Amino acid sequence: MMSKSLKKLNVLSNFDIVYYINNNAMSNISDLRQEYKKHILSEASVLTDPLTQFDVWFHEALRAGVPEPNAFTLATVGANGRPSARVLLLKGIDAGGFVFYTNYNSNKAQELESVPYASMVFLWLELERQIRINGPVAKISREESEQYFQSRPRESQIGAWVSPQSHKIPSRDLIEQTHVSMIEKFKTNETIPLPEYWGGYRLIPEEIEFWQGRPNRLHDRLLFTCENENWRLDRLAP
Ligand SMILES: Cc1cc2nc3c(=O)[nH]c(=O)nc-3n(C[C@H](O)[C@H](O)[C@H](O)COP(=O)(O)O)c2cc1C
């Protein structure tokens, strides 16, 4: 329905678009609501180690068929104090934290350089769950990035050489042409080298909040806070 209506927008005047938004899209948005009633989360059922609890929920998300369950929103803050957020893919969890990969010249990387703290949000609507993780972020070792980079498909490796991520470019053509020239450049390479500007970060969790949707907007929220290397558990009001 929505996509059919949106297609119509292409042939509407500005006046029509304002009319359309006021009378259709916006009123429909405020009508959207869902009761959450699939699961509960209690102090008795939650595990004492939040990383293990994350793992349990992650595997439940996998089994529930959540598309891209490792996709999360990463919020960072720039030197100017302004936040920005984008979706990334989680590529590892270990005792040290949560690992993701990106371009070290990107906007997010510049922000992490200025303010090395971030917030991650996982949303698994099929299970009516959200997990928020906050903490300091540090680059992982070059060896670790190298190991992951070499595990990626060749096409993705070449992709890392093509894109000056977050930089303004004159047109899509530049990307297409660079892609062709990188395929040519590496055509005799058995392995594609790791670009020096590409690698991973690890977010070391200081806070992990598990959110379970409940009826009447009275959701369960359990917050783990790291204190002297121990996890303290508190319930938060929804
Ligand atoms: C589902 C999904 C997964 C993504 N995964 C990554 C990723 O793992 N690494 C990455 O650098 N960008 C990823 N992106 C693109 C980012 O959202 C973003 O556009 C890019 O990293 C540039 O962000 P920045 O300009 O804020 O640095 C993904 C986007 C989507 C929608």
Distance between CA 84 and CA 79 in Å, rounded?
Answer: 11
- Ranges of beta strands (E only) in the chain are 71-77, 83-94, 97-103, 117-124, 129-139, 198-203, 207-212, 220-227, 230-235
Nearest alpha-carbon partner for 204 in 234, 221, 226: 226
Residue 132 among the catalytic residues: no
Is the CB of 72 within 6 Å of ligand 1? no
* pLDDT exceeds 50 at position 178: yes
Distance CA 2, CA 91 (A): 34
What's the distance, CA 101 to chain centroid?
11
Distance, in Å, from the CA atom of 127 to the CA atom of 122, rounded to the nearest integer, reads: 12
Structure tokens at 5: 């209506």
177-192 average pLDDT score: 97
Residues of the chain above pLDDT 70, percent: 89
- Read off the pLDDT of each residue in 141-149 and give the average, rounded to a whole number: 98
| Residue 21 clears pLDDT 70, i.e. is over it | no
The CA dihedral of 144, 133, 39, 46, to the nearest 10 degrees, is: 80
Instruction: Report the pLDDT value the prediction gives residue 12, as an integer from 0 to 100.
Output: 57
pLDDT at 5: 44
In the prediction, which pLDDT does 7 show?
Answer: 46
pLDDT above 90 covers a percentage of the chain that reads 87
pLDDT(53) > 80: yes
Answer whether residue 118 shows pLDDT above 70: yes
Q: Taking a C-beta distance cutoff of 8 angstroms, is the pair 157, 112 a contact?
A: no
CA of 21 from ligand 1 middle (Å) equals: 29
Residue 191's pLDDT is what? 97
Measure 88 CA to ligand 1 centroid, in angstroms. 5
Query: Separation of 18 CA from ligand 1 center, angstroms?
Result: 31
Query: Which protein residue has the closest C-alpha to ligand 1 atom 14?
Result: 88
pLDDT(237) > 60? yes
Judge whether residue 152 has pLDDT over 90.
yes
**Residue range 177-204: average pLDDT?**
98
Mean pLDDT for all residues in the chain = 92
**Atom of ligand 1 minimally distant from the CA of 102:** 11
Q: What's the gap in Å between 39 CA and the centre of ligand 1? A: 31
Domain 40-235 has CATH 1.10.10.10: no
The answer on pLDDT for 235 being more than 90 is yes
Q: What is the distance between the alpha carbons of residues 33 and 57, in angstroms, rounded to a whole number?
A: 24
Which of 63, 217, 232, 235 is labelled catalytic? 217
Residue 187 identity: K
Q: What is the pTM of this model?
A: 0.90
Distance (Å) of CA 84 to CA 74, 87, 128, 132, 198: 8, 11, 25, 16, 20
Q: What's the whole-number mean pLDDT along residues 97-105?
A: 98
Ligand 1: which of 73, 77, 89 to mutate, most ligand atoms within 8 Å of CB? 89
pLDDT above 90 for 126: yes
- Pocket flag, ligand 1, residue 87 (CB < 6 Å): yes
Does the Cβ of 102 fall within 6 Å of ligand 1? yes
> What pLDDT score does 95 carry?
86
Q: Where are the domains of the chain?
A: 40-235
Kindly give the number of the ligand 1 atom that is closest to the alpha carbon of 100: 8
> What pLDDT was estimated at residue 107?
98
Q: Is the confidence at residue 155, as pLDDT, over 60? A: yes
Determine whether the shortest distance from the Cβ of 105 to ligand 1 is under 6 A: no
